Amino acid sequence: MSFLWTLLFMALIGALIGGFTNHLAIKMLFRPHEAKYIGKWRLPFTPGLIPKRRDELAVQLGRTVTNYLVTPDMFRKRLLTPDMEVKAEAFVQRKIEEYVLHSDKTLNDWIHDAGATEMVMKTEQKIVETVDARLQHMKRTLTSGTIEEIVPIAWQEQAKERIPTITDYILQKAELYVDSYEGKVMFQKLINDFLESKGTFGGMLNMFFGDSNSLVEKVQREALKFIKAPGTTDLITSIIEKEFVKLQKRPLDELIGGFDWDGLFTTIQAYVQKELAIQTRLDKTIQDYWPEGSAWTAVNVTPKLMEFAFMQAEKQLDVSLKKLKLDEIVKEQVDTFPVAVLEDLVLGISRREFKMITVLGALLGGIIGIVQGLIVFFTTIN
């Protein structure tokens, strides 16, 4: 019976020693957090293993993250996929429609958000100044030279080519007028006025020619013969050509002298402002001017934009990750962690396993104690 108690006692002692040593070893991974000194002599095993090797741990964690966790291939497999591109395209299109194409904001609101102020007034003022400058330039041009210098040569040539047409038109109208009742009345009045102005001699002529109506008819026939004569066409054409040449040499200002330029300018400027209606136009939304914008951007803009973005992201992925220097970021963050945080992090993940290690140490210590007790018992008997 005494042997059994001895055996149990040795097992208990072995279990206590095994569990305590394992528990102490686990604690020594983190504790103490700082080095302990007696005078200038640093106690051995201080600080704990992880605080002592924190720099190496930080470097190793950084390498692990960059080499095995956050790698270019991981981003390609997880993010730069066709399915992700489709989702990104749909997301971007929704946001474009929500915040731009279907927005209630007017063009004035967009301009104001861009930092531009008094846009309408400045635009109208600039337009008025531009129109006025062009009108003044036109006025100076028209009043500072002859028709030949100002009017384009092509216009002058075209006008000269139409002189025969003008001649034919004049003769046609003259023939119709002379042969009409109005022409007859006009000739009769001219003849009567002529004869009356000659007094007695006129009366004698009237008696000589007989009835004035017959005289008028004779004059009409002669006038028609004159109009239809080939020489008349040449004569009128020559007269018009000579007058056209003279007209070309005259200053244009003589033809338009006294023209109300100020009134014209005022009318044009008012018309331009009325037709532009800048304030009214800017008070409309993008959708008012571009109702098919959503359909167009969904086909022509967003897909190409996302395709370009994903293509560039894939090309620049390796370089971008290298520039980020994730290993250095991880190292810096780990270096700034308090040791207590690292301890809580590790224990939070492995607390149960550490307890099992402590229990296993106690179990092994108990078994070793039993074995020692048996060895002592059998040695004592012999």
Q: Is residue 215 part of a domain?
A: yes
Residues 322 and 229 in one domain: no
Residues 122-153: tens digit of each pLDDT: 888 888 888 888 888 888 777 777 777 777 88
- In a domain, residue 360? The reply is yes
pLDDT at 331: 74
What pLDDT shows up at residue 296?
Answer: 92
| pLDDT mean over 302-317 | 86
Most confident of 105-114, 215-224, 332-341: 105-114
pLDDT value at 31 more than 80 = no
In contact, 158 and 187? CB cutoff 8 Å: no
Question: How far does CA 56 lie from the centroid of its chain?
Answer: 50
42: which strand partners?
37
End-to-end CA distance of the chain: 19
- Could you report the per-residue pLDDT of 82-124, keeping only the tens digit for each? 888 889 999 999 999 888 888 888 888 888 888 877 777 888 8
Judge if 236 and 315 occupy the same domain: no
Q: Would residue 123 count as lying in a domain?
A: no
In the predicted model, what is the mean pLDDT of residues 45-71?
Answer: 70
**Shared-domain flag, residues 71 and 157:** no
Asked if the structure places residue 365 within a domain, the reply is: yes
Residue 359: pLDDT over 70 = yes
Percent above pLDDT 70 for the chain: 79
**Contact call for residues 179 and 224 (beta carbons, < 8 A):** yes
Residue 367 pLDDT > 90, yes or no? Answer: no
Reported as a single tens digit per residue, the pLDDT across 161-205 is 888 888 888 888 888 888 888 877 787 777 666 656 655 544 555
Is residue 210 predicted with pLDDT exceeding 90?
A: no
Are 22 and 364 in contact, with CB atoms under 8 Å apart? no
C-beta separation of 192 from 212 below 8 A: yes
pLDDT at residue 221, as a whole number? 80
pLDDT class for 209, splitting at 50, 70, 90? low
Does pLDDT of 208 surpass 70? Answer: no
SS (H, E, C) the chain: CHHHHHHHHHHHHHHHHHHHHHHHHHHHCCCCCCCCEECCEECCCCCCHHHHCHHHHHHHHHHHHHHHHCCHHHHHHHCCCHHHHHHHHHHHHHHHHHHHHCCCCEHHHHHHHCCCCCHHHHHHHHHHHHHHHHHHHHHHHHCCCEHHHHCCHHHHHHHHHCHHHHHHHHHHHHHHHHCCHHHHHHHHHHHHHHHHHCCHHHHHHHHHHCCHHHHHHHHHHHHHHHHHCHHHHHHHHHHHHHHHHHHHHCEHHHHCCCCCHHHHHHHHHHHHHHHHCHHHHHCCEHHHHCCCHHHHHHHHCHHHHHHHHHHHHHHHHHHHHHHHCHHHHHHHHHHHCCHHHHHHHHHHHHHHHHHHHHHHHHHHHHHHHHHHHHHHHHHHHC
Is the peptide bond prior to 32 cis by the omega test (within 30 degrees of 0)? yes
**Per-residue pLDDT tens for 42-56?**
666 666 666 666 677
What are the CA-CA distances from residue 146 to residues 137, 157, 162, 242, 350 (Å)?
16, 16, 21, 16, 103
Asked if 162 and 242 sit in the same domain, the reply is: yes
Per the prediction, the chain carries an average pLDDT of 77
**356 — pLDDT class (breaks 50, 70, 90):** confident
pLDDT average, residue stretch 331-339: 70
- Residue 141 inside a domain? The answer is no
Q: Which residues pair with 38 in a beta bridge?
A: 41
Residue 315 lies in a domain: yes
Res 53: pLDDT: 67
Residue 98 lies in a domain: no
pLDDT surpasses 60 at 300: yes
pLDDT, average across residues 259-285: 83
Per-residue pLDDT reduced to its tens digit, 241-259? 888 888 888 887 777 767 7
> Are residues 17 and 365 in contact, defined by beta-carbon separation less than 8 angstroms?
yes
Q: Which domain holds residue 18?
A: 2-78+311-381
Q: 274 falls in which pLDDT band (50, 70, 90)?
A: confident
The pLDDT value recorded for residue 92 is: 92
Q: How many domains does the chain have?
A: 2
Predicted pLDDT of residue 347? 64
Q: Can you tell me the mean pLDDT for 275-300?
A: 87
Specify if 113 maps to a domain: no
Report which of 167, 214, 209, 226 is spatially closest to residue 187, judged by C-alpha positions: 214
